[in-house]
Amino acid sequence: MTTEKSAPSPMDRVWNFFISVKVAIFTLIILAVASIFGTIVEQNQPLEKYHEIYEDWAFALMDRINLFDMYHSWWFLALLVLFTVNLTCCTIDRFPKVLKVVRNPRTKLDEGLEKSVSLSDRWKKKGTVSEWAPRYAEALASAFSKPRVTEGDGEVHLYAETGVASRFGVYVTHLSIIIIFIGAIVGNVAGFKGYVNIPEGESVSSVAVRGGSRMQDLGFTLRCNSFRVDTYPNGQPKAYVSDLSVIEGGREVLRKKDVVVNDPLQYKGIWFYQSSYGDAGGTTARVAARRSDGTPAGSLSLPPNEPFFIEGYGSIRGVNYDRNFQGNGPALQVVVEKPGKPAENFWIVQGRPDLDRQRKDSMVFSFGGLNTKMFTGLQVARDPGVNIVWVGCTLMVIGIIMAFFLSHQRVWLRLAQGPDGRLAVVLAGSANRNRLAFEKKFEKIQTGVKAVAS
Amino acid sequence: MNTLNVQLFDLTTLLFGGASGTYIVAMYGRKEIFARIGTWICVAAAIVSTAALGVRWAESYKMGIGRIPVTNLYESLVFFAWSVNLFYLFVEWKYKSRAFGAFVIPIAFLTMLFAFTNESGIQPLVPALQSYWLHAHVITCFVGYAAFAVSAGVAVMYLLKARQEETKTTEGIIAHLPSSKALDDLVYRAIIWGFPFLTAGIITGAAWANYAWGTYWSWDPKETWSLIVWLVYAAFLHARITRGWHGKRAAILSIVGFLATIMCYLGVNLVLSGLHSYGG
C-alpha cells in the first residue's frame, strides 16, 4: 500500500482508519460500555414482562434498538465485526514489518541507531579491531548471547539478541481471537442447541431446538430408564441422576447410569446435559393385598380414582392421599366395592401393614407409598466448532504470556579504530518490554564485557 | 460458638487490621521498624489464613460434604483477601519496598470485615458446582482479581505522589513513597500479571459452562462483566504499549478497571441475577 504525500486516497483513508490503534482502543471501550446495558436489562424475557417494568415510550425505544436481545442485535454484531476487521487490518499492516525486523535485524550499530537506543556506553582501548573483535565476541556470548559479526569499513559490529518470540505474542493473541470467532461461527452454523424432557421409561429420537419451533432428529433413540434426586442429610439436593440408554437399530449401544450435572452423556458428537426434572404425571399408589390367612394376593399399582378388580373379591380404588394422616404418616384413602354390598371407605397407613385387619375382611390391604413418575430434562448440544474455540483459547493464553513476559532484548557492540590510533568501543542495548529489568541486566553485560576483554 | 476455621479467619481479620495500622503508622511516623512489623504481621496472616482454609476444607470433609472452600460469599471473600495478601507479599519482596502496604493491605482488611458480616457456615455443594473445573476457575479468577486490586492500590499511590512531585513539595507521608516512575511501572506490571490470569479464568469458566450446560458462552451477567473487565484492561494495555499512555491516564484506567472488577466479583451477585452461586 503506497501513500501519496499530499492527499491520501479514500481507499487509504479507510485503510488508515482500520489500522489505527486509536480505533482499537475506542472499539474495546465501546464494546465494554455497550455490554453493560445487557446486564442491566435482563435479556430474552417474555415481552409482557418488559411491558410491566417500563413505560410505553421506553419500551418502544428499547425494543427498537433490540435491547431485549442486544447481544444478537445487528448493531452489537456490527461492533464485533468492526473489532475483528480492526484486529485483522492491524495484523496485516504490522506483522510483515515485524517479520522483516526479526528476519533482517539491524546488525550494525550506525549513528542513527546509537542515538535512538536508550542504553549505551563508550570506552577506548589500546590495540586493533582485528585483535579485539574475537575476544569481545566471546565476552558478549558469555555475558548475554552469541553475537553475529558484521565487518565493513574497518569496523566490526557485534549483534546479539534474546526473546525474539516476544515480538510475535501480540499476533498470536490477535489470531487466537479470530480463531475463537471462527469456532463460534462454525458451532452456530453446523451445530444445534436443544432440550428435551423424557419421562421415565420412555424414549425420544428428536429434540426441540432452542429458540425455535424446529425439531432436530438425533439419528438414534435415547431412553430414560430412571431419574432420581439424591439429597444431603439436611435435605438439600446433592445430585440429580438420570439413567440413560442410547438405542440404535433396536439395540442398546450405550448406557450411562449416572448422568449428572457436570457429567454429561455423549454419543456421535451429540451431548446430553442433566438440566432439570419434574413430575411426569401418572402418580400411582403401591398397595399390597393379602388374604386374611396371610397369603399374598398381589401387588397393586393404583392410578388415582381408577378401580382395580380382584377376581372373586371386588374392586379397590385410591381416592385420597394424606402426607400425614392423623399424625400417623403417609396414608391412602381407598374405596372397596363388592358385588351386592355397600361400598366401604377407609384409610390404610404406610408402614402399618396389619392396621387393616381390624376391618375383619377376607382381604387385607396395606399401603406401600406413592410412585411418582418423573421426567428428566436434558440440554442437548452438538457443537462442531467447540474444539476450534479451545484451540483459540489455548493460543490466547500462550500469546498473552509471550507478549508480556518475554522481552526482545538486543545488544550491539561496535569496534572502530579511532583517529588517535586507539580502539573505540561502543556498547548499546534495548528491550521492547520490562526496560527497568533490562537496565539492570545491561549493567551486568557492561561489566561482563569489560572484564573479560580487559 | 464458631468452628475453628472461622476463629482462625477472625484472627486473620485482626492481623490484617494490625498490619494496616502499622503500615500507616510507619508512613506517618517515618519509622521503618513499623513497616517491618507490618510485613511480619502479613506473613503471620498468610500462615493463619492458609491454615484456616485448610481447616475449613478438612471440616467440610468431616461433615461428609468435602469440597474446596470457595463456594459461597463468605468463603470467596476470605479467599480474595488471602490472594491479595499473598500477591502483596510477593510484590513487597520483589520490589524491596514496604511503602505499598498502607495502600493494599487495607483492601484485604476491609474485605475480611465484609466477610465477617456474612453467614460463615459450611453448606453442602449444589450439584451445579460439583466439578473439578471449580478449582481451576476460582483460583485463576482470584489471582487476577488480586493483581488488579494491587494495581489499583498502587495507582492511587501514583496519583498522590505525582501531584506532590508536580508541586515540588516533599512534606508528609507521600514523600516516602517510591518515585512516581516506579509506581507507574508497578501499576502496569500488576496488570500484566492479572490479565493472563483473568483470561485463563474466563476460559476455564467457559470450559466448565460447556461441560455443565453445553454452551461455553451465554451472555450471563457474570460472564458479560468478566468480558467488560477484560476489555478495559485490554484497552489499558494497548493504550500503554502502542500509544505510550503513562502516568495519570494509565493510573485512572487501572482504577476504572478495578471498579469493573468489583462489579464483576460482587456487584453482579448482589445487584443483578445470574448463574453464579454466592448471591443470596
Confidence band, pLDDT 50/70/90 cuts, at residue A18: confident
Q: Quote the pLDDT of residue B278.
A: 45
Q: Quote the pLDDT of residue A454.
A: 59
Verify whether the Cβ–Cβ distance A39 to B131 is below 8 Å. no
How far apart, in whole angstroms, are the C-alpha atoms of residue B37 and residue B31? 10
B278 touches chain A (CB under 8 A): no
Residues B103 and B162 in one domain: no
Compute the nearest-CA separation of A71 from chain B (Å): 7
Q: Hey, CA dihedral for B133, B275, A272, A43, is it positive or negative?
A: negative
Structural domain ending residue among the three candidates B73, B88, B119:
B119
- A186 domain-assigned: no
Verify whether the Cβ–Cβ distance A262 to B128 is below 8 Å. yes
Give chain B positions within 8 Å (CB) of A71: 219, 224
Residues A199 and A276 in one domain: yes
Min mean pLDDT across A21-30, A164-173, B221-230 is at A21-30
Q: Quote the pLDDT of residue A3.
A: 47
- The label of the residue with cell 462442531 reads A384
List the 84-143 stretch of B: residues with Cβ below 8 A of A: 123-124, 126-128, 130-131, 133
Verify whether the Cβ–Cβ distance A193 to B215 is below 8 Å. yes
Q: How far is CA A284 from CA A198, A230, A308, A319, A348, in A?
A: 18, 21, 12, 11, 15
Verify whether the Cβ–Cβ distance B232 to A35 is below 8 Å. no
The string of pLDDT tens digits covering residues B130-162 is: 888 988 999 999 999 999 999 999 999 899 888
With a cut of 70, say whether residue A196 has pLDDT above it.
Answer: yes
Residues A219 and A297 in one domain: no
Residues B108 and B60 in one domain: yes
Residues B59 and B92 in one domain: yes
Residues A288 and A259 in one domain: no
Compute the nearest-CA separation of B98 from chain A (Å): 19
The string of pLDDT tens digits covering residues A347-380 is: 999 888 888 888 888 889 999 888 888 899 999 9
Give chain A positions within 8 Å (CB) of B192: 404-405
Compute the nearest-CA separation of A302 from chain B (Å): 33
User: Which amino acid, one-letter code, is at A147?
Assistant: P
Residues B109 and B70 in one domain: yes
Global confidence as pTM: 0.84
- A170 domain-assigned: no
User: The sheet that has A251-259: what strands, in order across it?
Assistant: A251-259, A237-248, A215-231, A203-209, A192-199, A374-382, A270-279, A265-267
Smallest CA–CA distance from A386 into chain B, residue: B216
Structural domain ending residue among the three candidates B119, B143, B175:
B119
With a cut of 90, say whether residue A16 has pLDDT above it.
Answer: no
Structural domain ending residue among the three candidates A371, A398, A424:
A371
How far apart, in whole angstroms, are the C-alpha atoms of residue B56 and residue A2? 66
The string of pLDDT tens digits covering residues A54-105 is: 888 988 888 888 888 889 899 999 999 999 999 999 999 999 999 998 999 9
Residues A259 and A318 in one domain: no
Q: For position A131, which CATH number holds? A: 3.30.2030.10
Q: How many domains does chain A have?
A: 4
Per the model's pLDDT, the better-predicted residue between A12 and A247 turns out to be A247
Residues B47 and B96 in one domain: yes
Residues B214 and B270 in one domain: yes
Give chain B positions within 8 Å (CB) of A29: 231-232, 235
Verify whether the Cβ–Cβ distance B231 to A25 is below 8 Å. no
List the 182-211 stretch of B: residues with Cβ below 8 A of A: 182, 185, 192, 195-196, 199-200, 203, 206-208, 210-211
Confidence band, pLDDT 50/70/90 cuts, at residue B277: very low
How far apart, in whole angstroms, are the C-alpha atoms of residue B16 and residue B1? 23
Q: How many domains does chain B have?
A: 2
The string of pLDDT tens digits covering residues A264-305 is: 999 999 999 999 998 887 788 889 899 888 888 888 888 888
Per the model's pLDDT, the better-predicted residue between A199 and A328 turns out to be A199
Please give the average per-residue pLDDT across B237-243, as a whole number: 88
List the 399-438 stretch of A: residues with Cβ below 8 A of B: 400-401, 404-405, 436
The string of pLDDT tens digits covering residues B56-70 is: 888 888 877 777 888
Per the model's pLDDT, the better-predicted residue between A410 and B120 turns out to be A410
Q: How far is CA A130 from CA A134, A149, A150, A226, A419, in A?
A: 8, 12, 12, 87, 16
A260 touches chain B (CB under 8 A): yes
Q: Quote the pLDDT of residue B276.
A: 52
Residues B107 and B155 in one domain: no
Residues B139 and B275 in one domain: yes
Question: Residue B250 is part of which domain span?
Answer: 126-280
* Pick among B219, B237, B246, B269 to test the A interface (most A CBs inside 10 A): B219
- A215 domain-assigned: yes
| Whole-number average pLDDT of chain A | 89
Structural domain ending residue among the three candidates B119, B138, B168:
B119
Verify whether the Cβ–Cβ distance B124 to A236 is below 8 Å. yes
How far apart, in whole angstroms, are the C-alpha atoms of residue A291 and residue A360? 11
Residues B155 and B209 in one domain: yes
Give chain A positions within 8 Å (CB) of B231: 28-29, 31-32, 35
Smallest CA–CA distance from A436 into chain B, residue: B185
Compute the nearest-CA separation of A171 from chain B (Å): 13
Q: Quote the pLDDT of residue A282.
A: 74
With a cut of 90, say whether residue A41 has pLDDT above it.
Answer: no
With a cut of 70, say whether residue B279 has pLDDT above it.
Answer: no
- A133 domain-assigned: yes
- A254 domain-assigned: yes
Residues A95 and A123 in one domain: no
Residues A352 and A430 in one domain: no
Smallest CA–CA distance from B203 into chain A, residue: A393
The 3-state secondary structure of chain A reads: CCCCCCCCCHHHHHHHHHCCHHHHHHHHHHHHHHHHHHHHCCCCCCHHHHHHHCCHHHHHHHHHCCHHHHHHCHHHHHHHHHHHHHHHHHHHHHHHHHHHHHHCCCCCCCHHHHHHCCEEEEEEECCCHHHHHHHHHHHHHHHCCCCEEEEECCEEEEEEEECCCHHHHHHHHHHHHHHHHHHHHHHHHHCEEEEEEEECCCEEEEEEECCCCCEEEEEEEEEEEEEEEEECCCCCEEEEEEEEEEEECCEEEEEEEEEECCECEEECCEEEEEEEEEECCCCEEEEEEEECCCCEEEEEEECCCCCEEECCCEEEEEEEEECCHHHCCCEEEEEEECCCCCCEEEEEECCCCCHHHHHCCCEEEEEEEEECCEEEEEEEEECCCHHHHHHHHHHHHHHHHHHHHCCCEEEEEEEEECCCCCEEEEEEEEECCCHHHHHHHHHHHHHHHHHHCC
Q: Quote the pLDDT of residue A443.
A: 94
Question: Residue A431 is part of which domain span?
Answer: 105-163+407-452
Residues B143 and B111 in one domain: no
Residues B201 and B131 in one domain: yes
Confidence band, pLDDT 50/70/90 cuts, at residue B172: low
| Whole-number average pLDDT of chain B | 87
Smallest CA–CA distance from A271 into chain B, residue: B214
Of B123, B128, B199, the CB nearest to A261: B128
Residues A54 and A131 in one domain: no
- Percent of chain A scoring above 70 in pLDDT: 98
Residues B99 and B135 in one domain: no
Closest to B17 measured CA to CA, from B110, B93, B88: B110
Residues A203 and A260 in one domain: yes
Compute the nearest-CA separation of B13 from chain A (Å): 31
